[in-house]
Amino acid sequence: MKYKKIVAKPQKKIRLNSFLRGIDNEHDDMVASLNSAKEFYNFDISTGSLTPLKGFVEQELKPFGGFWTVAQNSGHTEDGKKYYSAVFVDDTGLLMGYDFDEHGNAGIMYEAPDQSYRFTSVPQITEYKKDGKDAVLLTSPTDGMVVWLEDGYQPRKIENAPLITSMAKHGERLFVTVADRADRVWYSDEVDPTNWNVSLDGAGYIGFKDERGECEKVLTLGGYVYVFREHGISRITAYGEQTEFVVEHVFSSGSRICASSVTLCGNRIIFACDDGIFSFNGSSVVRLLPLLSPALVFNENTVTAYYKGKLYLATKMYTENAIGCESAEHVNNVMIVYDTYTDKYGIYRGIDVRRITPMYGVDKVFMIVGNQRKVCVMTNGNDYNGELIERKWRSPESDFGISEKKLLKSISLFTDYDIVLKVYSESGTVERKIRGKLSRSTVPINLSSHTFAIEFISTDYNCRIASPTLIYY
């Protein structure tokens, strides 16, 4: 009798060495690396494993409710000691400030006197010296310019100031874009930035009428003033007399630049267009995060900030399901935290961040969050103001480089805390709940398919997922 010899298929393994690649929204699933993600959010991938992003908590500011914006102010006491405070504008347009203690906690509150000036739109705020005293300049596109010396002083409106949409300090002057004349960049008097009387030795403006479009934001970098326009960047050399100012056009863009995204980040400026995120060093433009940006939408609600080498960018992201703020009215649903030195990033999803403000003196990052416009501060905790929002990482669909059908026998991994593992295939979906432990876990799958996609979900307070290994025949 002859027996047919059966040769077992050899066992094969694929290990996801790290999660550092982040999202790949540019390539087709079948050519994208299995180590990249088709979707991930609320996980920190900077160490190569999946851990929680830092959370935030509401900063208790009583008796007020919602806020439009917040900005840092600083100065010196009479005995020369440095102090830090914050200037707030609540959602009724009322101006107020808080002193901070040595731990960065909000202490004494002082608001502008009764019948004080109220803003009708969200202002920009910058520190300023007025007659040797510490002060702040506040400008908005509907209210013009206001000077506030704080500590009980009445805010003073500068009657002849333009309706400013953005401003940048260059030497002793302010350079600004304005709401009613977007084809011009205005500049203040050289000695007094609150003086806007036009003259040959005082204030004035520069006209821009070419294909690059309206002037939308100004920033200073490397001794120059850069004007970000609808479709390009122009540079102003502004030293000496007005007659010696020089304008050069340094960049043109086929897509529209999102003015609210333009941010000074150390020795460069980062901005977003309809077709991605870019870095500008004063002469050339380089694309950033090319695999992530196709999923992002940039508009007038996009907000950014830069702090300690990291860009904070809140905007909209295309999503399929709804989590966190996405189940209700919102303007933004993600915040990207991008490390400009390492190119690593994290994605906060399900939170509606309306404003981001670093407080350098007290080492904190403040945010205005949600429809209630709560003032929140980032912490080392893992929850979002007491709420745990789902964390997810999902791989692209992959055939493991083999076109024939395969049996995915099991998946092994390290997970210190409880998670959910899902495997998607043309044969169906398998879901496994995995208990956290200190040693490696092996989970049976037993799915036969041409392609597979792997997903990890965490809803625990903490998590650490590392070194997943797929075992198949």
Report whether 51 contacts 44 (CB < 8 A): yes
* Confidence class for position 241, pLDDT limits 50, 70, 90: confident
Please report which confidence band the pLDDT of residue 100 belongs to, taking 50, 70 and 90 as the band edges: confident
pLDDT digits (tens, 9 = 90+) for 340-384: 999 999 999 999 999 999 988 778 898 999 988 988 988 888 888
pTM for this predicted structure: 0.92
Higher pLDDT, 432 or 380: 432
pLDDT level of residue 76 (50, 70, 90 thresholds)? low
Q: Per-residue pLDDT for 6 more than 60?
A: no
What is the model's pLDDT at position 140? Answer: 92
State the average pLDDT over residues 386-411: 93
- Give yes or no for residue 113 having a pLDDT over 70: no
pLDDT tens sequence across 121-130: 999 988 887 7
pLDDT at 151: 59
**Cα(336)–Cα(315) distance, rounded to whole angstroms?**
8
Least confident of 89-98, 149-158, 375-384: 149-158
pLDDT in tens, 178-190: 998 899 999 999 8
pLDDT at residue 387 is higher than 80? yes
CA–CA gap between residue 289 and residue 268 (Å, rounded): 16
Best-predicted range by mean pLDDT among 46-60, 107-121, 305-319? 305-319
What local confidence, expressed as pLDDT, does residue 454 receive?
Answer: 96
- How do residues 20-57 score in pLDDT, each as one tens digit? 999 998 888 888 888 899 999 999 999 999 999 999 99
- Mean pLDDT, the chain, rounded, equals 89
How far is the C-alpha of 88 from the C-alpha of 97, rounded, in Å? 6
- Structural domains of the chain sorted by starting position, each given as residue range(s) with its CATH number in brackets: 12-53+392-472 (2.60.120.260), 56-66+110-385 (2.130.10.10)
Per-residue pLDDT at 13: 93
Pick from 82, 83, 112: nearest CA to 97: 112
Task: Report which listed range, 80-84, 145-149, 194-198, 298-302, is most confident.
Answer: 298-302
Decide if pLDDT at 211 tops 60. yes
- Tell me the CA distances in angstroms from 198 to 145, 160, 375, 463, one per residue in order: 16, 10, 40, 61
**How confident is the model over 291-305, as a mean pLDDT?**
95
Amino acid sitting at position 200: L
- 120 burial level (CB within 10 Å; 0-12, 13-18, 19+): exposed
Residue 168: which pLDDT band, with cuts at 50, 70 and 90?
very high
Is 80 exceeded by the pLDDT of residue 338?
yes
What pLDDT is recorded for position 176? 96
